[in-house]
Chains A and B, each alone.
Chain A
Amino acid sequence: MFQTLIRRIPSAAAAALAAVTLGAAAPAPSVTPNIITIGNFTFGPEVATVPVGTTLTWVNGDDIPHTVVAIDKSFRSPVMDTDGRFSFTFTKAGTYEYFCSIHPHMTGKVVVQAP
């Protein structure tokens, strides 16, 4: 009876998505902006591996608000409504796990590698 809503992923965000490497693959090229797209209640990519000094930008492509909150409290976004953005610069190497405080089943990870 109903069709599931097909969400718009901003094309700029979709293009920039490729700039963030997945998992523990080769070191990421320092392309800015590095974008993590929030779509269908997931972070894409779920695991982003970047070099120290990278600024990551989360963009909400859903019709529902989300947040990005680091479990170690190192960053916390305000509520991002549709097309809302939040950026954070990673100045220290390490693994940063984060989640959406509104929908805590949404989790992601940023692996920041030393040069």
Chain B
Amino acid sequence: MQDRPHRRRFIECMGWAGTGLLWTAGGGVMSSITLDRAAAAAKKTGVKPFSFLQVSDSHIGFTKDPNPDARATFREAVAKIRAMPDKPDFIIHTGDITQLSKPQEFDDADQILKEAGLTVFHVPGEHDMLDEGGGKAYLDRYGAGTLGDGWYSFDHNGVHFVGLINVKALKAGGMGSFGQPQLDWLKADLAGHSASTPIVVFTHVPMWTIYEKWGWGTDDATQALSMLARFGSVTVLNGHIHQVIQKVEGNVAFHTARSTAFPQPAPGQGPAPGPMKAPAGDLHAALGVRTVSVVRGTGPLAVVDATLG
């Protein structure tokens, strides 16, 4: 998709391999720019830019081909974050923290993420709902201050962030799902914000249908997107599919992120959406983290995805 040129620029800019999408939030349709240009634009408008980081699908506890130690690759990702010259303000983890929702897996994930020294915002993936209570372990750990199954919103430097849950109580034959109570809450939550407020929505399963046969979409996402339509700048960050796919529709930019554990095939390529074998040297090129920078008051936005090697 679009990430290739950004990746090259980001390598030059940050000095470590990978891509990142740097976003500036402002009026109209978003487009990607380099980190350098964003910084220049920020200087011109006098607005202090900020960035945050997205990590996804750490699958702590995964020990199979192609990655015998998902803890080690997650730790590598966190080490990259720690080494960043411009500290992001916080980290968003878009779910599948663990492989099997075991307490030890959550503990280890928390321990590793702590090494980044940054605030972390979570939303769960379907792998984080596998405890006896069907998500109770996740809520007990990360649910403070959230509503319903764990959804919430917050504001940061004029940007409104919304964390949604689309992996709970899924229906046979369907894909991801928000459910009516959450959609009702979203409507009320967005009502208080003007159309010029940049919105970042993050949730595990993609909010647009990438491949229905593999469940790569969210059944009731159209309802959420219709509520977001009046906003000038909407950025949707997802995980789940372990690869970077991007799409812009109107004022909404959709992005899926790489996993820090293992890659999955391109939509419909191969028999199933499971882990892909990677030649030893190539695994790190298929894993990564994402930096999102927000510069208020300027038009274009950019996001940079970085691989682990």
Indicate with 1 or 0, residue by residue over A69-86, a CB within 8 angstroms of chain B CB atoms.
101000000010110000
B213 on interface, CB distance cutoff 8 Å:
yes
Q: Assess whether B286 is in contact with A4, with CB atoms less than 8 Å apart.
A: no
B282 to chain A, nearest CB (A): 6
Q: Could you say which interface size class chain B belongs to?
A: 35 or more
Contact of A41 among B64, B174, B175, B272 (CB under 8 A): B272
Indicate with 1 or 0, residue by residue over B202-215, a CB within 8 angstroms of chain A CB atoms.
00000000001111
8 A Cβ contacts from A26-68 to B: 40-42, 62-65
Report how far A64 CA is from B214 CA in the complex, Å: 14
Contact of B213 among A65, A71, A105 (CB under 8 A): A105
B126 on interface, CB distance cutoff 8 Å:
yes
B172 on interface, CB distance cutoff 8 Å:
yes
The interface stretch among A9-17, A87-95, A96-104 is A96-104
Q: Assess whether A65 is in contact with B172, with CB atoms less than 8 Å apart.
A: no
A67 to chain B, nearest CB (A): 8
A109 to chain B, nearest CB (A): 11
Q: Which residues of A contact B126 (CB under 8 A)?
A: 102-103
Chain B, interface SS category: loop
The total of chain A residues at the interface (CB under 8 A) is 28
Q: Assess whether A81 is in contact with B215, with CB atoms less than 8 Å apart.
A: no
Q: Assess whether B272 is in contact with A62, with CB atoms less than 8 Å apart.
A: yes
Report how far A105 CA is from B277 CA in the complex, Å: 23
B70 to chain A, nearest CB (A): 12
Report how far A103 CA is from B264 CA in the complex, Å: 15
Q: Assess whether A105 is in contact with B174, with CB atoms less than 8 Å apart.
A: yes
Chain A, interface SS category: loop
Q: Which residues of B contact A25 (CB under 8 A)?
A: none
Q: Which residues of B contact A105 (CB under 8 A)?
A: 173-175, 212-215
Extra contacts besides A40-B274, A99-B172 (20): CB < 8 Å: A1-B278, A1-B282, A2-B66, A2-B278, A4-B276, A4-B277, A5-B66, A41-B273, A41-B274, A63-B275, A64-B274, A79-B100, A97-B172, A99-B173, A102-B126, A102-B127, A102-B129, A104-B173, A104-B174, A104-B215
Q: Assess whether A2 is in contact with B272, with CB atoms less than 8 Å apart.
A: no
Residues of A within 8 A of B (CB): 1-7, 40-42, 62-65, 69, 71, 79, 81-82, 97-99, 101-105, 107
Q: Assess whether B286 is in contact with A2, with CB atoms less than 8 Å apart.
A: yes
Contact of A4 among B172, B175, B271, B282 (CB under 8 A): B271
A14 to chain B, nearest CB (A): 16
